[in-house]
Amino acid sequence: MDLVDSKFIGLVSSRLQKFKRVKADLYNFRCPLCGDSQKHKNKARGYFYQVKTNTNYKCHNCGASLSFNNFLKQIDPVLHKQYTMEKFKDGYSSISGVGNFVVDEPKFDFKKPVFKKNINLPKASEVPIAKEYLEKRKIDPAKFYFANKFQEWTNTQKKTFDTIRRDESRIIIPMYDTERNLIGFQGRSLGPNSVKYITIMINDEGPKIYGLDSIRRDAPVFVTEGPFDSTFISNSIAMCGADADVRRWGIDDPIWVYDNEPRNNEIVKRISDTINRGEKVVIWPSNIQQKDINDMVLAGHNVMSIVENNIYSNLEANVQLNTWKRI
């Protein structure tokens, strides 16, 4: 399979329910276009597969049949733009005869960005459906916003969706820079049949990091995998995409807090890479069964205490990692 396609399948996979690799060049997950089976939540009938040099998508529930390029365009327009840029950079086009990928030549506009400091939306704490959803998870709804029509509102912040269809409500997770300029946001779905998170960057050069505006940089900063998880950890930020070099943003002493998934090879590799960079990580003790911080809180654990007592680095971190990944 084409390396660019493989890379972007990996990037979009976290937003696809029941995603798994079946074998080389074949991936299976619940169809995000139709929601897949409404009766059987474990059924997954969407597939990425390869035909010659092309990566395609097929759903055996609704019959959708798309190129991977068009699939990304529908599911995540922002990620699709990154994908088209990378394809174009690597010389994929109908002219070159490599694959069936067709993309318009990118147009560059170097106008100075104008950032907004305020979000013209109600707080999630003011909307019953959003408030109930977050409070059930013990998350403070006052930290987030609510968009009744996510795609429509997103287009008022940055033209993203060329056509609006099947618009839906989402919780808005704002991302600010150190001067509290709004540089992006995530939309978190409330229902089970949608792509969980959609990330929109107003400033394409900005970091996909939640919480940069509210941390102390003269103390250790915890780095979690998701914004909701970070609300339970003092002086923390959250990655809203792939791991970033947080030291670029004035964080000299990061402590990485990954999900508690010892059988997830990707997470194990990320922890190992972090240790090899000489940075600190949290290795969860064996008595913790829950996958993420939010679930741990709901199970009654004192997460902050657990985190503070399980920070490792260098050789000790590798020893703990080897023990943890066998759990």
Domains along the sequence of the chain with CATH: 3-89 (3.90.580.10), 124-206 (3.90.980.10), 212-324 (3.40.1360.10)
pLDDT at 298: 97
pLDDT at 97: 40
Phi and psi at residue 244, in whole multiples of 5°?
-115, 165
Flag whether pLDDT at 88 surpasses 80: no
Give the residue with greater pLDDT, 292 vs 22: 292
Mean pLDDT for 183-189 is 93
Flag whether pLDDT at 60 surpasses 90: no
Flag whether pLDDT at 111 surpasses 90: no
pTM higher than the cut 0.75: no
Gap between the Cα atoms of 269 and 275, Å rounded: 10
Read out DSSP for 232-263?
Answer: TSSSEEEESSS---GGGGT-SSEEE---S-TT
Gap between the Cα atoms of 197 and 187, Å rounded: 6
Flag whether pLDDT at 216 surpasses 60: yes
Gap between the Cα atoms of 58 and 144, Å rounded: 35
Give the residue with greater pLDDT, 24 vs 123: 123
Q: Encode pLDDT of 117-176 as tens digits.
A: 578 999 999 999 999 999 999 999 999 999 999 999 999 998 888 888 788 999 999 999
pLDDT at 259: 95
pLDDT at 116: 59
pLDDT at 285: 96
pLDDT at 290: 95
Q: Quickly state the pLDDT bin for 247 (edges 50, 70, 90).
A: confident
Gap between the Cα atoms of 228 and 73, Å rounded: 27
Flag whether pLDDT at 109 surpasses 70: no
Flag whether pLDDT at 105 surpasses 80: no
**Range among 128-132, 157-161, 203-207, 217-221 rated most confident:** 128-132
DSSP single-letter state for residue 116 = B
Cα-atom radius of gyration of the chain, to the nearest Å?
A: 20
**Range among 14-18, 157-161, 211-215 rated most confident:** 211-215
Per 3-state DSSP, what percentage of the chain is helix, strand, and coil (rounded to 5)? 30, 20, 50
pLDDT at 94: 39
pLDDT at 95: 36
Flag whether pLDDT at 75 surpasses 80: yes
Flag whether pLDDT at 73 surpasses 50: yes
- 314 CB contacts (<8 Å, ≥6 apart)? 275, 278
